Amino acid sequence: MAEAAPNPRLAAVRALNRVLPGSGDGASLREVLRAQALDGAAGGLMRDLCFGVCRYLRPLNHWLNQQLSKPLKPSAQPVRLALLCGLYELWFSDRADHAVVNAYPDLCRKLKAGWASGLANAVLRKASRIDAATAFADYPDAVRWSLPDWLWQQWQSDWPDQAAAMAEASLTPPPLTLRVNQRHHHRDHWLTQFGDEARAGALSPWALYLSPPRPVTALPGFAEGELTVQDEAAQLPVTLMAMPDGARVLDACAAPGGKTGQLAEAFPGARLVALDVSESRLRQVREALKRLDAEATVLQGDAADPQSWWDGEPFDAILLDAPCSATGILRRQPDVKWHRRRQDLPALVDLQARMLDALWPLLRPGGTLVYATCSVLRAENDQQISAFLERTEDATEDTPGIGAASPAARGWQLLPRDQGPDGFYLARLRKTMG
Ligand SMILES: C[S@@+](CC[C@H](N)C(=O)[O-])C[C@H]1O[C@@H](n2cnc3c(N)ncnc32)[C@H](O)[C@@H]1O
């Protein structure tokens, strides 16, 4: 007997149940989708529901709670998630309302919660008569922008003039951005190949935006390493690096290898060392290098404790793409906002500072260290770098201008923009010759 086709809505509820606070174990959405991917159109719908519900979780939950005469029990979390998927589909997808309204009572039965099918029908019918803007109109800002209170407060304190635009941009799906492998073709080659579907990035000379987005494995030249998926902002740290042939370069937090591959493309004559604390994530670095047909020494180790892995030969350049709050890439990883807590920040800031201090002595005098994060929190970025410069006598700031003026005191801060690069921070530091 032929197997029943997988139900993408059911798969989305199960995935969200693992990711979101409630009964879930706080797994990362990316990892869950990688492990439980569905093929074809079903996979597309499942992914859309998972990303959409994570993006709009707070206002969707708020509206749903207002409709309930008594709160749903914690054990009814799958029903709650199913209703949130239905609301997201009605308000943010172009699927026909009647098809959406009809799908969810049946889904409740599949979840062995037949008692909730009448509720699903009533809630979704009511929602189908309004739109999201009307539903969310009077909500407090943090609810409307779907941010935890602490993060919204921090954004307002760090970026009072930009916080609302950042919040809005963080709710939009990200563009598909590629990095062109300059060892094969110039970007113009790909602009001609993709025609009207591609545009060049304004900040990175290798960035290409493709619209509409599509599965990357179907792109010509992808398997051969001619194109790599990488946000334009994430391409910028390597554009700040310069070094002679044969230079020794450390990529200190390398996994999954996006920038390691880019370093290998940009500096084929360099002796590249890729370090990461996570052995399992280093597997992705090796795979990335293999696809690009590039080489590096791949090391497992703690960047804050070089004595355990360093061979004593100084580096001409270091890239420190530090672990951070990831608050600049919420549109790409919207589950992060529900996992990250205010109290996580001091430990991250402390780890970044310890890495800077520990790696600096490994740099040759005259060499440069590029510090980067995908955070938009000043404590991890310009405040972190200002403090480092204050306590490090032989360090000077040497960040070149990249584009429009940066709002940060030190280095460059990019804030998330609709259809543009992610939120990102970078600073280049030079060691004086002494
Ligand atoms: C922002 S990601 C790096 C992304 C990577 N540079 C890229 O472009 O694909 C941060 C990385 O830091 C690693 N990491 C965290 N703590 C570390 C430590 N103490 N030493 C070295 N790597 C660490 C994490 O495993 C993670 O892979």
Who wins on pLDDT, 378 or 23?
A: 378
Q: Cα 378 vs. chain centroid, distance in angstroms?
A: 18
* 89 class by beta-carbon count within 10 Å (0-12 exposed, 13-18 middle, 19+ buried): buried
Q: Determine the pLDDT at residue 242.
A: 86
Ligand 1 touching residue 261 (CB < 6 A): no
Q: List pLDDT tens digits, range 92-105.
A: 999 999 999 999 99
Contact in structure between 216 and 229 (CB atoms under 8 Å):
yes
Residue 282: pLDDT band with limits 50, 70, 90? very high
273 is a domain residue: yes
Which amino acid residue places its CA nearest to atom 6 of ligand 1?
Answer: 254
CB 253 near ligand 1, within 6 Å: yes
Asked whether the predicted pLDDT for residue 24 surpasses 70, the reply is no
Mean pLDDT of the region 58-83: 96
pLDDT at 431: 97
* Angle in degrees, 0-180, between the axes of helices 279-292 and 258-266, rounded to the nearest 10: 40
Q: Which of 56, 166, 212 is nearest to 417 (CA)?
A: 166
Q: What is the CATH number of the domain that holds 26?
A: 1.10.940.10
pLDDT at 247: 97
Task: State whether 219 and 322 are in the same domain.
Answer: no
The verdict on 355 and 206 lying in the same domain is no
For the CA of 323, the nearest atom of ligand 1? 10
Residue nearest atom 13 of ligand 1, based on CA coordinates: 253
Tokens representing 428 are 């280049």
| One domain for residues 184 and 244 | no
378 and 425 assigned to the same domain: yes
Q: Determine the average pLDDT of the residues in 324-345.
A: 95
Ligand 1 neighbourhood includes 236 CB (under 6 angstroms): no
Residue 151 near ligand 1, beta carbon < 6 Å = no
pLDDT at 3: 59
Pairwise CA distance, residues 90 & 390, whole Å: 53
Q: Which residue in the block uniquely carries the two structure tokens 């060499």? A: 367
Number of domains within the chain: 3
Alpha carbon distance 370, 426 (integer Å): 7
In a domain, 1, yes or no: no
Mutate to test the pocket of ligand 1, among 177, 276, 285 (most ligand atoms within 8 A of CB): 276
* Residues 253 and 389 occupy one common structural domain: yes
Q: Which tokens hold the place of 5? A: 């086709």
Least confident range from 138-147, 228-237, 322-331, 402-411: namely: 402-411
Would 163 be classed as within a structural domain? no
* 192-222 as b/e: b if 16+ CB within 10 A: eebeeebebbebbebbbbbeeeeeeeebeeb
Residues 120 and 214 in one domain: no
- Tell whether 253 is in a known binding site: yes
Residue whose CA lies nearest to ligand 1 atom number 2: 323
Q: Give the per-residue pLDDT at 406.
A: 76
The Cα 398–Cα 167 span in angstroms is: 30
Report whether 420 belongs to an annotated binding site: no
Residue 71 pLDDT exceeds 80: yes
End-to-end CA distance of the chain: 77
* For residue 115, pLDDT beyond 70: yes
* Band (23; pLDDT cuts 50, 70, 90): low
Which ranges in 176-257 belong to alpha helices (H)?
A: 187-194, 232-239
Structure tokens at 238: 């390597």
**Predicted confidence band at 60 (pLDDT cuts at 50, 70, 90)?**
very high
Residue 117 burial (C-beta neighbours within 10 Å; 0-12, 13-18, 19+)? middle
Which of 212, 229, 246 terminates a domain? The answer is: 229
Domain endpoint, select from 75, 110, 138: 138
Does residue 138 have a known ligand-binding role? no
Average pLDDT, the chain: 94
Q: Which residues, 6+ apart, have CB-to-CB distance to 174 below 8 Å? A: 231, 329, 331, 332, 422
Q: Is 374 a catalytic residue?
A: yes
The CATH number of residue 411's host domain is 3.40.50.150
- Residue 137 phi/psi, 5-degree rounding, is -55, -45
CATH number, domain containing residue 188: 3.30.70.1170
**Residues 6 or more apart whose Cβ sits within 8 Å of residue 35:** none
pLDDT in the model for residue 2: 54
Evaluate whether residue 160 is within a structural domain.
no
pLDDT tens sequence across 228-281: 999 999 999 999 998 888 999 999 999 999 999 999 999 999 999 999 999 999
Same domain for 424 and 298? yes
Within a domain: 316 = yes
pLDDT at 368: 97
Flag whether pLDDT at 403 surpasses 80. Answer: no
Residue at 338 is within a domain? yes
Co-location of 184 and 262 in the same domain: no
Residue 200 in marked binding region: no
**Are residues 370 and 285 part of one domain?**
yes
Q: Structural domain of residue 203, as residue ranges?
A: 176-229
What number does the ligand 1 atom closest to the CA of 259 have? 8
Q: Which candidate, 304, 221, 206, places its Cα nearest to that of 262?
A: 206
pLDDT classification of 4: cutoffs 50, 70, 90: low
Mutate to test the pocket of ligand 1, among 240, 253, 300, 307 (most ligand atoms within 8 A of CB): 253
Query: Cα(274) to centroid of ligand 1, in Å?
Result: 10
Whether 240 and 316 share a structural domain: yes
| Residue 255 Cβ < 6 Å to ligand 1 | yes
Q: Is 251 annotated as a binding residue?
A: no
39 located within any domain: yes
Q: List, in order, residues 6 or more apart from 406 with CB less than 8 Å away.
A: 412, 413, 414
Of 1-5, 71-75, 236-240, 379-383, the poorest mean pLDDT is in: 1-5
Helix (H, G, I), strand (E, B) or coil at 395: strand
3-class DSSP state for residue 63? helix
What pLDDT is recorded for position 1? Answer: 52
* Of 333 and 37, more confident: 333
Q: Is residue 31 in a domain?
A: yes
Count of C-beta atoms within a 10 Å radius of residue 66: 8
Determine the residue type at 173.
Answer: P
Active-site residue among 50, 108, 324, 374? Answer: 374
Is residue 197 located within the same domain as residue 255? no
Give the pLDDT of residue 408.
Answer: 86
Answer yes or no: is 255 a known binding residue.
yes
Regarding whether 392 and 327 lie in a shared domain, the answer is yes
173 preceded by a cis bond (ω within 30 of 0): no
CB of 265 shorter than 6 A to ligand 1: no
161-199, pLDDT tens digit by residue?
Answer: 999 999 999 999 999 999 999 999 999 999 999 999 999
Q: How many helices (H) and strands (E) does the chain have?
A: 18, 12
Looking at 108, 138, 168, which one is the last position of a domain?
Answer: 138
